[in-house]
Amino acid sequence: MTPPVFYELKSAVVGIAGLGGLGSNVAEALVRMKIGKLILVDFDRVEASNLNRQKYFYDQIGRWKVDATIENLLRIWPEAQLEGHKVRLTPETVQSIFASADVIAECFDRADQKQMIVETVLSKMPDKVIVSVSGLAGWGASNEIVTRPINNRLILVGDSVSGTGPGIPMTAARVGVAAYHQANAIVEVLMDLKHGQLSRGAQ
């Protein structure tokens, strides 16, 4: 029997900005929840160095991450609705590409890209919710990664402290913890929207 939550999520649209360690894991989690549609955006190709934490395979090295992600997700759920864009996001393209999304997942590595998309969504897209991440490098201390609502339209995942540096890389386990926090927060937002428990226009 299909759980009722899956029926309620069939009409939802989620945008995922970046398909690295966070985005590739978030996308998989949401496809397994049978989210109605995913809008997937990344301008990069799979590299060998990505395989330590990103949801790709050795034979996908050199392929566009968007194409490889879509291929992998369709193996999980062949009926998934997936829209891919091989572009570098700007404030203008964020608004156009994610116009139909209910929630946007910020899955970038770089701080300037994170800031750009969060500021764009909050200032230019008043009907959208964004789930962002800050602080997930290293290993261990899983319980320090938390989900915090900043306001009705911004949710922050991470410990807000741990950044990469000498001897402190991104690792599959800790990135995965953050990604699944992010996916779970997205599902919670979608269910709240479905049941009228969240007003996206509020600050």
Domain boundaries in the chain?
A: 4-194
pTM for the full predicted model? 0.90
Contact predicate 8/191, CB 8 Å: yes
pLDDT in tens, 53-88: 899 999 999 999 999 999 999 999 999 999 999 999
CATH 3.40.50.720 is held by the domain 4-194: yes
Cα 187–184–202 angle (5° rounding)?
55
Contact predicate 37/194, CB 8 Å: no
**34: which 2 tokens?**
């049978």
- DSSP, collapsed to helix, strand or coil, labels residue 76 as helix
Q: In the predicted model, what is the mean pLDDT of the chain?
A: 88
Does residue 174 or residue 157 have the better pLDDT? 157
CB atoms within 10 A of CB 202: 9
The residue assigned the tokens 């995913």 is 38
Q: What is the pLDDT of residue 109?
A: 86
